[in-house]
Amino acid sequence: MGIGVDIDPVQPPYTRSNCSFMTMDITHDWDFTGGGNFDFIHIRQLGDIQDKKKLIQSTFDNLKPGGWVEFTEWIAILQSPNHSLDGTAFRRWNDLLEQGMHNFGTTLYYPNKFKPLLQETGFEHIIETRNGAPTNACYPGKKLQRIGHLMTQNWLLVLEPLTMPVFTQALGWSPDQVKSFLVDVRKEIGNTQYHSFMTL
């Protein structure tokens, strides 16, 4: 039996009989009766939540003995080994995003905090993997081209919603300034002359 959880109702039009969905904020107390119910818990892209320790303890308490938890998060720092991003709007955007996160009292490197917290909570056999995901289809090979194409689509969708609160609240930009700046960033994201990746 699988249970999908989100803070908003995301019930798809068709689900299999062994799958259900519920609305719940997993950063708060979990609403599963009894605890220790799950063989596997997957948590994806929550961002830098404040009480990571509480979340990790909740996963521990709701797993059966021998159960597994998997966290998937981005380190949204652009890597450009050939320096093709130097001087671009995309690079400036990323630097400003990290500066804004710092002004908020956090960092884009927050996924690095999970492993020690998992160890403190009592998890064993902890495996940390890091994968480079290209930001566009700049690298050769069908797999990397496909990933890069999907990443470009993803970034074009989330760019403004991600940027607007950080730039306006932490950096003091106006919404119009943000929108104007992102015009150039969008042009560069999909441009394959710029080689870059982020870490998943």
- Give the pLDDT confidence score for residue 66 in this predicted structure: 94
Distance separating alpha carbons of residues 27 and 35, to the nearest angstrom: 16
Q: Cβ atoms within 10 A of the Cβ of 190, count?
A: 18
Q: Cα–Cα distance between 63 and 122 in angstroms, integer?
A: 12
H or E element in which residue 13 lies: none
Tokens 């403190």, residue located: 120
pTM of the model: 0.85
The candidate with the shortest Cα–Cα distance to 99, out of 166, 145, 194, is 166
CA–CA distance from 200 to each of 31, 76, 181 (Å)? 29, 8, 26
Q: According to the model, what pLDDT value does residue 11 have?
A: 67
Domain parsing of the chain, residue ranges: 1-72, 77-200
Q: Which residues of the chain have pLDDT under 70?
A: 11, 33-36
Tokens of 41: 């818990």
User: What was the pLDDT predicted at 171?
Assistant: 98
Sign of CA dihedral 188, 191, 192, 197: positive
pLDDT of residue 34: 59
pLDDT digits (tens, 9 = 90+) for 31-47: 876 566 899 999 998 88
Per residue in 145-166, pLDDT (tens digit) is 999 999 999 999 999 999 999 9
pLDDT in tens, 103-119: 999 999 999 999 999 99
Q: Say what the pLDDT of residue 151 is.
A: 95
